[in-house]
Amino acid sequence: MEDLKELITKLAADNALKHGKASSKAVLGKLLAIRPDLRPKARELISLVEEVVAEVNEMPVESLRNISPQVKSGKKERKRTWPSLEGAEEGKVVTRVAPEPNGYPTLGHAKGLLVPFIYARLYKGKFLLRFEDTNPRVEKLEYYDAIRDEFLKLLEAAENELGLSPGKWDEEIIESYHLPEMYELAKKLIEQGDAYVCTCPAHVVREKRKLGEPCEHREQSVEENLELWDKMLSGEFGEGEAHLRLKTDMKHPNVTLRDPGIFRIIEAPHPIHGDKFRVYPVYDFSVSVMDSLSGVTHAFRSKEFEPHVDVQLEILRKLKLRKYRMIQFGRITVEGIPLSKRYIRPLVESGILEGWDDPRIPTLRGLFRRGILPEAIVRFFYELGPSKVDATVNMGMITAINRKILDPKVHRYMFVPDPIRASIDELATPAEAKVQVHPNSKELRRILVREPKVYISQSDIRDLKVGDEVRLRGLVTVKVRSVNPDEVSLTRSKDQKIKGVRIIQWAPLEGGVPARILVPLTPYSYEMLGGYGEPALKDLKTGDMVQLIRLGFARVDKRKPFTLILSHK
């Protein structure tokens, strides 16, 4: 039986490599052509061929070639190359990623990290991690650590997967430590007559900017503005009562460039500095100044910031700071799953999600917990490239890469969901089953059966009738004697070499590991499968990846109660 299955597997792999997907009908036809002696049992072979073909169609190309090395795919694999970086010189490129520590990183942040990192390494340049922590109301220390930890996992994976070394940032910068320096630059703008302190209410500022009308504070003297600026710093103004604005052109066609605010008061303790500071720069000021001062040559950011480029260039021009290239790339969205923290946060706070590492959401920690490897995320974004076009992706695109990485190395295990007891007459115990740990390996795992009783899945007995024969994987071929609501009665078949019988999974009654499988469905729901697995499951550690035969790849989430999260098929 095992030899026959091996032949069917090779034929299915051959068919899949030629046509992209194996066909049960084509494989059966080829089998009968090679083994005409099997023609009388063609109907019995159909279920076995269908089972093998289903397994083969889940395998990546590399595994198929290992099974059928003489067959080569008709399609040539094209090596992905990224477009050249305008104005880049090898050894002189400096890029950065600049996250705000206001939440846990998501799949969207992975693109913002990997695009500049890959370019920095391709040009043998420098890569910076800079925390934009100038909005203390939403920032927490735990987010700094989460960003460091999860970004490092991706960069180490980029080194392993793409050969881009070193897989880490070259320097870390925390923006808030540079606030005194930014205050001096703000003072310089005031002294040049290029900035003024405005005490208009926010709604008045918005309306006047929309209409292109200056406010009464625009013509204040330098001395008056310096005095008001000192009052902002010393605490004589409360939050929202005063802000520093850049003096530009109130009639500019780009409304964003009409006397934009560049510093504001935020009365909230900073996660690092506490109450030391109360005046903070807006994004346009801090990003333009810090990119220039830290030596960035190519600043990558999401396309949504494109309207702000003019503001940032104007700030650099007025301060006479070094300019650099600002490059926009497209955002990504995931079908049916929110990426934005403003959508995820209420689900966490309401208890719908168990936390930011819930495997139903695309935070990096959620994806890692689900069993999506950092290497798969790196490969996905590398293949996607630094496109300026917004892209909507589905998780299937990432899980396909994840499967390709896992399949050649992850061991297979039997798991019986929705179990029912089955007694086996005429099975001499103790008996020993031998199951293959991986299709590409000759290594066998041994399972001791101390009593002639096992668990099988109710889904496997649904279509069985008295007299049908099936094989318990690696153990014994049995004949169905009776099927009752609470138990199945089986008997050992006289002919253990019978071919073409259906193979089903099982777990021993004594030693079977009770387990549950969480199956993520949507951000609001998941399915839970309960059952028993083979004894070897108890030797797994939290974080181990396995393939549950006929279910899919899964990650061990915890041992008490023994819980796995289904990653994907």
Note the pLDDT tens digit of each residue in 506-547.
999 999 999 999 999 999 999 999 999 999 999 999 999 999
What's the maximum distance between 2 C-alpha atoms anywhere in the chain?
104
Instruction: Show the CA angle centred on residue 232, arms to residues 230 and 237, nearest 5°.
Output: 130
Closest CA to 227 of 251, 206, 197: 197
Closest CA to 454 of 499, 498, 409, 488: 488
The pLDDT score that the predictor gives to residue 80 is 63
pTM reported for the whole predicted model: 0.84
Question: Which contiguous run of DSSP H or E holds residue 157?
Answer: helix 141-162
State pLDDT tens for residues 381-415.
999 999 888 888 888 899 999 999 999 999 999 99
User: Helix axis angle, 42-56 relative to 2-19, nearest 10°?
Assistant: 60
| Strand residues in 141-292 grouped as ranges (E) | 171-174, 195-198, 243-246, 261-265, 279-281
**Cβ atoms < 10 Å from Cβ of 244:** 25
**What residues contact 440, with CB distance under 8 A and at least 6 apart?**
63, 66, 67, 408
Residue with token string 């190395």: 409
How far is it, in rounded angstroms, from Cα 24 to Cα 367? 34
The pLDDT score that the predictor gives to residue 1 is 55
412 residue type, one letter: R
177 residue type, one letter: Y
| Strand residues in 5-88 grouped as ranges (E) | none
CB 506 within 8 A of CB 475: yes
Torsion angle in degrees (nearest 10) through CA of 378, 380, 383, 386: -70
How far is it, in rounded angstroms, from Cα 427 to Cα 430? 9
The pLDDT score that the predictor gives to residue 79 is 52
The pLDDT score that the predictor gives to residue 73 is 38
The pLDDT score that the predictor gives to residue 62 is 64
CB 523 within 8 A of CB 533: no
CB 262 within 8 A of CB 287: no
Question: Which contiguous run of DSSP H or E holds residue 485?
Answer: none
The pLDDT score that the predictor gives to residue 255 is 92
The pLDDT score that the predictor gives to residue 173 is 98
In angstroms, the first-to-last Cα distance of the chain is 26
CB 15 within 8 A of CB 34: no
The ranges of the chain with pLDDT < 70 are 1-3, 60-63, 68-80
State pLDDT tens for residues 188-207.
999 999 999 999 999 999 99
Closest CA to 163 of 191, 113, 124, 213: 124
Phi/psi region, residue 240 (left: phi>0; alpha: psi -120 to 50; beta: rest), is left
